Amino acid sequence: MKFSQLLFISCFIFFSFNVFSQTVNIKSIQTYPNNSQSKLPILLMGKNSNDKLTIEFDVKAEYQPNLIVVFRFCDKNWIPYDNLFLANQGQDRGYKFSASILPNTVEEADYHYIGSFPTKKDFVSFPYSGNWRFYITDFGDTTLVYAEGKFYVIYNEVSMYSSVREDIMEGTDLFPTDLNKVFNVTTKFYLPEDFFPGYVDEVRIVENHKINYPCIIDRKFNTLKRQYYWDANRKFTFTARDIQPGNEYRQVNLMDINRFNSKEVQAQFDGIEYSRFFQQGEQDLNGGEILRNFKNRYATYLNVKFSLRTPDDLYGDVYLIGAFNNWTILDSYKMNKSEDLYTLKIPLKRGIYDYQYAAAVGNSKGEINYDWLVFEGNSFDTSNEYHIFLYYNEPDLGGYDRIIGYSLIKSK
């Protein structure tokens, strides 16, 4: 073999090794239906609707990676099924991401990916109604998971009549008294003949984007706050009487390049924020986010400092929660305390984000309770979206959690 051929092969192996062994960091991942950035990722499927899931994100990598998405059907607690009948093999992977090079003004990322699924060309399908997860992986090695997310697929087969009304929580005497204000969320339905009443399982209510903290009404447990009624035929009623409305979310808007014209910025122009317990917030995105178009040269990343001064000395921790961390209380978003001032700096891409603060307080048993309202308030004037899912214990295909009904209602 000629020396030039050996040199070419050696260079190819070296280049391939570097490409496939590179570090890939995914940033600013968004999951939403169709073209609605700020909406909860719910796909309504059927004769009159055929929604698509949009997955969009930035990538920091030396070379453009070949990325795909793997879809897995899950139970109601988001655990993927280990069942060949539910594996959807052959239609569980999406390859059609559109990749673009980001403007050179974006220092923290190099590429932008966007894809919509299901697609006929990709042979992607979501045949089961329920909870789904996706995993962004490497084309050559799907065990390399760079990011993941959750979404719902709904084949709506039960007409649900849902309502929300103002109420006062019974059996409690909270202070301030505003904390006793609750929404009574009720859903009623008549089960079609195709379904067996004994397999009706539970109703879950997701407020705005809080997928990880649903309100669960289980037919096995009737309490003062969560109630279930069945007429022994096909009429069902599920009621939650303890949903506190909260407040409109705080919002950081980084779109204005004149106002936020440096790398280091404050979340709010005034710098330090305070309790809003007795102050009604302005209209929000119901927990969503809107990011500046990736093609824009100003779609850069900023180091955003959040600062909260608490009204009293707080002995627990304070967490920052928002659209940027999927409304999940995470240790990485625990704020740093200095006397009565709590601060945290996080990188955010230019955009608009809903967020809030929550307190974590331990009790005598060593348990941690998270208070979402202590800094934010609780008012009937708050406008929320409530996504209501009806789960059914489907016995076919080895059994799975099937969503057979869905409705969306809004407070106020």
CA distances to 18, 39, 62, 109, 407 from 22, rounded to whole Å, are: 6, 33, 7, 14, 44
Tell me, yes or no, whether 275 and 177 share the same domain.
no
Contact assessment for residue 135 and residue 104, using Cβ atoms and an 8 Å cutoff: no
Pair 338, 262 in one domain: yes
What's residue 13's pLDDT?
41
d(CA 118, CA 79): 21
Three-state DSSP class for residue 236: strand
One domain, residues 171 and 123: no
Q: What is the 3-state secondary structure (H, E, C) of 11-39?
A: HHHHHHHHHHCCCCEEEEEEEEECCCCCC
Pick from 155, 187, 221: which residue ends a domain?
155
Closest among 275, 354, 282, 281 to 318, alpha carbons compared: 275
Q: Assess whether 102 and 226 both reside in one domain.
A: no
Which structural domain range is residue 85 located in? Answer: 23-155
Q: Considering the domain boundaries, does residue 170 fall inside one?
A: yes
Per DSSP, the chain holds a count of helices (H) and strands (E) of 1, 26
Residues 30 and 146 in one domain: yes
Is 122 in the same domain as 35?
Answer: yes
Sign for the CA dihedral angle at 69, 73, 75, 79 comes to negative
- For residue 313, tell me if it sits in a domain: yes
Give the number of C-alpha atoms closer than 13 A to the C-alpha of residue 292, restricted to the C-beta side: 20
84 with 195, same domain: the answer is no
- DSSP state at residue 120: T
Q: Is residue 378 situated within a structural domain? A: no
322/404 same-domain check: no
Residue 115 belongs to some domain of the structure = yes
The pLDDT assigned to 50 comes to 85
Whether residue 379 is contained in a domain is answered as no
For residue 366, what is the domain's CATH number?
A: 2.60.40
Whether residue 319 is found in the same domain as residue 216: no
Whether residues 263 and 367 share a domain: the answer is yes
For residue 197, say if its preceding peptide bond is cis, omega within 30 degrees of 0.
no
- Same structural domain, 143 and 173: no
Q: How many domains is the chain built from?
A: 3
Q: How far apart (Å, rounded) are the C-alpha atoms in residues 259 and 269?
A: 8
Which residues pair with residue 344 across a beta bridge?
A: 306
Domain boundary among 155, 177, 197: 155
**Structure token pair of residue 184:** 């009574």
Together in a domain, 282 and 366: yes
Divide the 412 residues of the chain into consecutive groups of 10 and give the mean pLDDT of each group: 44 44 93 95 89 97 96 98 93 94 96 91 89 96 95 97 92 81 97 97 98 96 92 97 96 94 92 93 96 95 96 82 97 93 97 96 74 95 97 97 98 86
- Give domain status of residue 321, yes or no: yes
* 327 φ/ψ angles, rounded to the nearest 5 degrees: 55, 45
| Residue 377, domain member (yes or no) | no
Q: Which of 131, 155, 179 is the last residue of a domain?
A: 155
377 CB neighbour count, 10 Å cutoff: 23
Q: And the tokens for 169?
A: 């929580």
Task: Say how far apart CA 90 and CA 69 lie, in whole Å.
Answer: 13
- Is residue 16 included in any domain, yes or no? no
